[in-house]
Each structure stands twice: as C-alpha cells, then as structure tokens.
C-alpha cells in the first residue's frame, strides 16, 4: 500500500504544501494604472470617427507599401542575371559562376584571424612565443 500521510516531528502532513503557484499581490499603483487605461478607452469610444481614421491609416500604409521604392527588388533581379561563359571555358574550368549573385564578395577578410593576431601582438606577457599571422 502507498502511504499518503507523513509524520514529521509529531506533525502529520496530509498534503503537498507547495502548489507551485506564485503568490499574487497587486502593485501599489495598479489602481491608478487601471484608471488611466479606462480613461483612454472612454476617450476612444467617444470619438465617432475612430473607425474611419483607422481605415484611412490602413489604406495609407497599403498605398505606401505598393507605391514605395522597389530598388531592393531590382538589385535582387540583377544578381540573378546569368553570366555569359563559353562552353569550352566551362569544360576547361567548371568552377565558374553561373549568375551575377555568385560573384558577390560575401566576406572581405577573416575577422577572427585579425582579432587573434591583434591580441597576440598586444599582449605584454611571454614575448618568447612567435605571433601567428
């Protein structure tokens, strides 16, 4: 049988004491905060044009998205343009770029190599070790 009651120093414990729910206490300014929020809600409800204003703002945002500058799309399309390579050159050296996007330089230098070199050169510690560059 499973024992459900435990006796510790003469005191019988019949349930688990911690229910894992943190104690809830209101903050000292919670009533003020709720009053401010209710005042804002009343102000919004009293304005008869609020729905029209929201619809106009939505239309303005949509118009701006549709009519805005599309330079990013043009740049992406330019990167997808194929590169003209002769079939003989592709056969001789097959590791060639097929599109303009494959020619874009992604990383100019090895940042970790530069950081490690600077730390080794600047350290005032043991000068007998050669610096790796």
The whole-model pTM stands at: 0.29
Q: What are the pLDDT tens digits along the chain (133 aa)? A: 455 666 667 777 777 777 778 888 888 999 999 999 999 999 888 888 888 898 999 999 999 888 877 665 666 667 778 878 778 887 888 888 878 777 777 666 666 666 655 555 544 554 555 555 4
Q: What is the reported pLDDT for 99?
A: 81
Q: Report helix, strand or coil for 2.
A: coil
- DSSP letters of 58-72? HHHHHHHHHHS--HH
Report the run of H or E that residue 8 belongs to, with start and end. Answer: strand 6-8
Q: Of 78, 107, 82, nearest to 97 (Cα)?
A: 82
Query: Please, where are the H alpha helices in the chain?
Result: 30-46, 50-67, 71-79, 87-92, 111-122
d(Cα 33, Cα 39) in Å, to the nearest integer? Answer: 10
* Segments making up each domain of the chain, as ranges: 29-68, 70-103
pLDDT attached to residue 58: 95
Q: Which residue has the tokens 């703002």?
A: 57
Residue 63 has a pLDDT of 92
- Please give the pLDDT value at position 72: 59
């Amino acid at each position: 049988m499973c024992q459900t009651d435990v006796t510790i120093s003469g005191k019988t414990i019949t349930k688990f004491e911690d229910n894992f729910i943190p104690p809830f206490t209101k903050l000292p300014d919670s009533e003020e905060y709720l009053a401010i929020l209710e005042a804002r809600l009343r102000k919004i409800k009293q304005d008869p044009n609020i729905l029209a204003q929201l619809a106009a703002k939505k239309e303005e945002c949509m118009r701006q998205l549709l009519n805005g500058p599309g330079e990013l799309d043009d740049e992406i399309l330019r990167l997808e343009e194929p590169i003209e390579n002769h079939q003989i050159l592709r056969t001789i050296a097959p590791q060639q770029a097929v599109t303009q996007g494959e020619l874009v330089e992604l990383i100019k230098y090895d940042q970790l190599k530069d950081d490690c070199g600077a730390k080794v050169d600047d350290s005032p510690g043991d000068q007998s070790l050669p610096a790796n560059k």
